Amino acid sequence: MRLRIVVVALALVWVTLASTAAAAPPCRRGSCPDVNIGEGAITASYVDGDASSPVRSASNAAPPPELPYRWYLRTSCQVTDETQGGCVAGNNECPTVEGRLIYYYIVLHRRILLSTGPIDAVPVPAGTAVGDVYGPLVPEGGSCVDVTDLNPPPSPDEVFRYFQTLPLPQLTTRQQPPGEALVGLPVIFFTDSPTTQLFTVDIRGFTVDIAATASTYSWDTGDGVVLTTDDPGAPYPNETITHDYSSGTYTASLTTTWSATYSVDGGVQADVPGTTTTQGAPATFTVLQARTVLTNPYD
């Protein structure tokens, strides 16, 4: 079993309930009316105990009667790094229990409109239906939380968000002849940079292997033409991508579209539901006009 423990530094909490990941000025724990949980929070329909409990249990099997809150769990790394949740883990502050996943989380809750009506005087926005959340997020502080029963494998969309942030290779544009070319002789384009890359990332305690592949190449020739191909080209004499120029100086560049597959904890591979792009270093070259000059063969 893989157990990763995160020590939460709760001196700062980000303000502003928003769907974006933008951070607002920090404030001390408990003094913020709203907290931005970003995209990385794990949600639960039930979290027992309170911040004084040695270990709280989170579940999506809510016991009767209706519960008035929905809970949100975030690690300190997700607070300080909205995109990937990457930061340096500290010492183990939570117990290790065989067969259980226990992490240190920032626990927050938000009100739910019950069939019996609101639970307090916090205004309920017009159009809120029974079962919908409303009002501000309320931080409860940090706790060790057993999430074994609700820690699902990363979703395809969650993997795609990580995929977009990976340091994919920026493929370099190569052209032949190198340096100066001639009008009437096509310029050959290709890239000799790596077109596949394997990454291993940690998403909420799951090991996710992402295999990225360059799937489309868009060659901006520098004279208003874009050549789109599904191969990286090749140098002479096996060239597949060429372009004719008039005389002048040009800067060509390559935009690469990447697709990927992924697997979770060594399981079955699946497609990442989306692509991302990178742009490599451009190549600048001059195309010359060759002219015929008569000379005296006896000179």
Q: Taken in order 145, 146, 150, 154, is the CA torsion positive or negative?
A: positive
Do you know the residue count of the chain?
299
DSSP lists the bridge partners of residue 242 as 188
Q: Check residue 20 and give its pLDDT.
A: 27
Q: Check residue 82 and give its pLDDT.
A: 57
Divide the 299 residues of the chain into consecutive groups of 10 and give the mean pLDDT of each group: 33 28 34 49 86 89 77 76 54 74 86 90 92 89 86 82 93 89 91 95 88 97 95 94 94 96 92 94 90 68
| Cα separation, 264 vs 62, whole angstroms | 28
pTM for the whole thing? Answer: 0.56
Q: Check residue 165 and give its pLDDT.
A: 92
Q: Check residue 103 and give its pLDDT.
A: 82
Q: Check residue 88 and give its pLDDT.
A: 52
The tokens for 47 are 């979290």
Cα 170-171-173 angle, rounded to 5 deg = 130
Boundaries of every domain in the chain: 1-151, 156-288
CA 117 to chain centre: 39
CATH of domain 156-288: 2.60.40.10
Burial (CB count <10 Å: 0-12, 13-18, 19+), residue 208? buried
The beta-strand segments (E) located in 30-173 are 42-44, 46-47, 56-59, 69-74, 102-112, 133-146
* Short-list 132, 130, 111, CA closest to 122: 111
Q: Check residue 79 and give its pLDDT.
A: 65
Q: Check residue 261 and give its pLDDT.
A: 96
Q: Supply the DSSP symbol for 233.
A: B
* Short-list 234, 71, 59, CA closest to 140: 71
Q: Check residue 153 and give its pLDDT.
A: 78
Burial (CB count <10 Å: 0-12, 13-18, 19+), residue 142? buried
* Short-list 124, 129, 249, CA closest to 180: 249
